[in-house]
Structure formats: structure tokens, C-alpha cells
Amino acid sequence: MKNDSSLVPSGLLAVRDLITRLPDERERILSYEIQRRERERLLYESATKVLSFQTFSAAKAVFGVGISSFFFAWSLGQLGEMARWVEGLRTHPLRLPGPASGWQLDFGSMLPSSTSTLLSYGFKLPVWDWRDALLIALVVMIFVFAEKAVSAFLSWRHVRSLTGAIRDVEEEIRVLRMWNGS
């Protein structure tokens, strides 16, 4: 082991000093430091994989939110349309041609005078067709995508940082093994 500290990674300066002061414990200290750094490298690699997977998970979330938004908006539009249809049945009698002139069916008398709360609120909803629901879903997807893109960018920065830390730890392991003679 040379005494030139420029060849020693910064993280190993304290280890070098320790094995210099305790030469009898050199092998045990080096073995422990190698194991500790290998565990550290494994943790860094695991964190890198988790952060990398988040990007794919974000894409699934964007599409899931888009599909859910589409069906929610379309369902609300259908509820509004159904409420208007029921109200139309209640107010306008249905005229059917038949043997007697002026024969008509009045479905309004067959419907209860107070319909469910859902239909009364549905009457206040806008009537959206599938195109409107698709537009709403796309707008929601854009907002979710923007949030996920920011998260992905931050994750990418963390992955780059962890990749550099992995290289540093691998270099320290290489030097420790060289010192240990293995």
C-alpha cells in the first residue's frame, strides 16, 4: 500500500489510516469494509431500479386516469341525457296512430311525480356525448402527464446521482480488494 493519498479514493482515507494504526486487524477491517460497501452498492442499485420503474408506472397511471375520466364524464353526460328524456316523457304525451283518431299514450301519468334525487340532479348536468368526454379525459391526462413528467425528471436526476455513487463505491471496493490482496 502506497502512502500517496492522491491514489486513494476520499472515502477510504479513514480506512487507510485505521489499518496503518492497527496492522494486526488489517484483514478483518478490510473484509468488513468490503462487505459494507458491497451492501451499499446493492442498496444503490435497488434504489436505481425502483426509480427507473417509476417512469413506466407513471405512464400506466396517465392512461388509467384518462380512461377513468372518460367513463366518468361520459356517465355524467348520459345521466343528464336520461334525466331530460324522463322529463320529456313526463311533459309531452306520446301520440300513436291508431284506429281512433287522436289516440295518445300519456307516459307522464305512469311516472311518479317525484323521481329519484339522482334524476333531479341529472337534469342540472350538461349533456356530454363521447367526444366531449374524450376531450375532458385528454385535458385531465395532460395535467396528470405534466405532474408525472416533473416526477420523472426528478427521478432521472436521482438515478444519475445514484449511478455516480455506484461507480464510486465500486472503485472503493476495487481498491479495498487490492489492499486485501484478493
Beta bridge partners, 105, equal: 94
Q: Are 19 and 181 in contact (CB under 8 A)?
A: no
Model confidence pLDDT, tens digit, residues 140-150: 999 999 999 99
Alpha helices in 92-129 (DSSP H): 117-122
Minimal CA–CA distance to 182: which of 45, 26, 25? 26
Q: Tell me, what amino acid is at 102?
A: G
| Residue 64 covered by a domain | yes
As a whole number of Å, the end-to-end CA separation of the chain is: 14
| Residue 1 covered by a domain | no
The pLDDT of residue 45 is: 93
Model confidence pLDDT, tens digit, residues 19-34: 999 999 999 999 999 9
The pLDDT of residue 84 is: 80
What the block records as the C-alpha cell of 50 is 425502483
Domains: count for the chain: 1
Tally of CA atoms within 13 A in the half-sphere of 147 that contains its CB:
9
Model confidence pLDDT, tens digit, residues 31-58: 999 999 999 999 999 999 888 888 778 8
Distance separating alpha carbons of residues 159 and 44, to the nearest angstrom: 9
Quick one: CA dihedral 99, 101, 107, 109, positive or negative? Answer: negative
Confidence class for position 1, pLDDT limits 50, 70, 90: very low
Give the CA distances from residue 21 to residues 16, 17, 25, in Å, rounded to whole numbers and listed in that order.
9, 6, 9
| Residue 151 covered by a domain | yes
pTM: 0.61
Judged against a pLDDT cut of 60, whether residue 3 lies above it is answered with: no
Judged against a pLDDT cut of 50, whether residue 80 lies above it is answered with: yes
Judged against a pLDDT cut of 80, whether residue 180 lies above it is answered with: yes
Model confidence pLDDT, tens digit, residues 96-141: 666 665 566 666 666 666 656 666 777 777 888 889 999 999 999 9
| Residue 113 covered by a domain | yes
| Residue 77 covered by a domain | yes
Confidence class for position 71, pLDDT limits 50, 70, 90: very high
Judged against a pLDDT cut of 60, whether residue 2 lies above it is answered with: no
3-state SS class at 129: coil
Percent of the chain with pLDDT over 90: 46
| Residue 3 covered by a domain | no
Range of the domain at 33: 10-180
| Residue 94 covered by a domain | yes
Judged against a pLDDT cut of 70, whether residue 94 lies above it is answered with: no
Helix (H) or strand (E) holding 144: helix 130-180
| Residue 63 covered by a domain | yes
Contacts of 74 (CB under 8 A, 6+ apart): 128, 130, 133
